[in-house]
Each structure stands twice: as C-alpha cells, then as structure tokens.
Amino acid sequence: MEKREIKSSYSVYRLDELTDETKKLIEYAQSKLKDAYAPYSHFRVGAAVLLENGLMLGGSNQENAAYPLCTCGERVVLTYAGAEYPDVEITSLAVAVKNDSKKVLTPASPCGSCRQIIAEYQSKQKAKIKIYLVAEGDEIYAIDSIHDILPLGFDASSL
C-alpha cells in the first residue's frame, strides 16, 4: 500500500491589504446579500465575479421550500456569467455570507456542489479562478485555485 497526502493552502488578508479592484469585487458581493432569498435558513450568500473584460456580475442564494431546489449564490453568478458571457474568462469570484440570526465572523467555504461548478468553469476556460471568501469578521480568505479546496475533483478526464 502507498499512502499519499493532500495539502491545501489559502491566504488570509485584511481589506486594506487588497487591490482596489478586489475590494470593489468584495463590496459588490456584500451588496448582493440584500438580494438573497433565504426565508428558511436565514443564511444569506452574495457572490460576484470579475470577468477578464473588467465587468463585474453579481448573484445571491435563492432558497426553496423543497430544499434540494435551492440555488447557492456562487452557482447563480457563475451560471449567469457562463450564459451571458460564454467566451469571457472569469478571473475571480468573491463570496460574502451573513446570517440574519447571528453574527458570522469566519468566512464560509463553498459547498461541494459549488466547488464542482467552480471547477467546471475553471476547466472550461483553462485558467484559474481566484476565490475570495468574506464574512462579518476582519479576515478575508483568498484561494488561488479551486483545486486548493477540491484536490481530487471530478472533471472531463474522469469520463
């Protein structure tokens, strides 16, 4: 038997350490929190992408009483970008979270489904998507590539 190891890494920033463009992307994601439809979990997700052409797009989570039909903020904005700008590279994604019932200080990582969607878009465009995660605390997590948090992902080479 051979034992293998998987390592993940991410960087932790404060807002004042980021570029103006990244700050704007994060602020846009935070502004989308108000558009979230979260009557069941009260957990709001705002997401924004920066496209290679400089355009920023936003989205938010949309819940449904039939929970499997809920759509995460990340998936909303990524599929919107893919549908409206299919040939424009997504350079970065910012995800902001807020709970109406309690303060969330630690950034939340994308769920497994969102990780897989991010991986698909990254694979499609053959370029990394930088991910920024924010909550209500001072720390901002920066992930260089989806493969840092989905190291054994499923992709077209698996088919």
Active-site residues: which are they? 74
- The Cα 88–Cα 156 span in angstroms is 20
β-partners of residue 47 are 59, 95
In the block, tokens 């493969």 appear at: 147
Closest CA to 120 of 69, 70, 158: 158
**Residues 16-22: contacts with CB within 8 Å, 24+ apart?**
18/132, 18/140, 21/50, 22/92, 22/94, 22/132
Q: Beginning with the edge strand found earlier in the chain, give each strand of the sheet holding 11-13 in spatial order.
A: 11-13, 140-143, 130-134, 90-99, 43-51, 56-60
